[in-house]
Amino acid sequence: MPDQQSRAFSSGPRLRALRLAAVALLLTYPVAAAVLLLASDGWAVNRLNVAIWVRVVTVLPITGLTPEMFAAFANVLLFIPPFAALAALLPRWWWPTLGLALSSTVEIYQSGIGTRTPDIGDVVTNTLGAVLGTVVGLALYRWARQRDARARVVRALAAHERAGGARPHDFRIGGSSRGPVSAAPTSPVPPSSDAAQPGPTAPPTPGAAPAASVSGRG
């Protein structure tokens, strides 16, 4: 059945491990992100952002990175992991639209509570993070599926060879399988024209005695 074959094809160990990691990430990461995005104390969020920025510019030799630039970069990074996990679980290209809707909803919420300042730039950077996360998730999904398929083909060829079938190097281009190439049959060598050929036998003469045969008796 095509459906059963497609499910078997996409159920390799690498793809299962990728999906388990994606589920684990989606069970923990959104909680921390929601605390950061939905917190009512805007000054606390800004102080946290500045504290992280100070650590980054102290450890890494980065010049010209302002707190505002770091905040925009953090908004991009914030949406990459969850959307990479979503794309790994369900490989679809429309996940960034969910990121756009989610970020817009957060900005509307922040404008309503009065202690946070909504910014259209946050919507842009969050949506960009959703796009990058979707690309990463789809790339990981494709990599895991191809590795599982390659491992499955190798195991099938090894099992076929153990069962006495054609070895991998016996397969030819075009999908046809042939046996080992045998040596071309040799044609028989014609007899040499110089070999002595028996001549015609003369008929016996009437009344002549038969020729004496050579024998060991006297």
Mean pLDDT of the chain: 78
Residue 24 is which amino acid? A
Predicted confidence at residue 95, as pLDDT, reads 96
124-128, 165-169, 199-203: range with highest mean pLDDT: 124-128
Predicted confidence at residue 167, as pLDDT, reads 53
pLDDT band with cut points at 50, 70 and 90 for residue 216: very low
Tell me the pTM. 0.66
**Sign of the CA dihedral with 135 first, then 140, 143, and 146 last:** negative
**Which residues have a Cβ under 8 Å from the Cβ of 49 and sit 6 or more positions away?**
67, 70, 71, 74
pLDDT band with cut points at 50, 70 and 90 for residue 3: very low
Q: 165: part of which helix (H) or strand (E)?
A: none
Higher pLDDT, 79 or 9: 79
**Which residues have a Cβ under 8 Å from the Cβ of 120 and sit 6 or more positions away?**
107
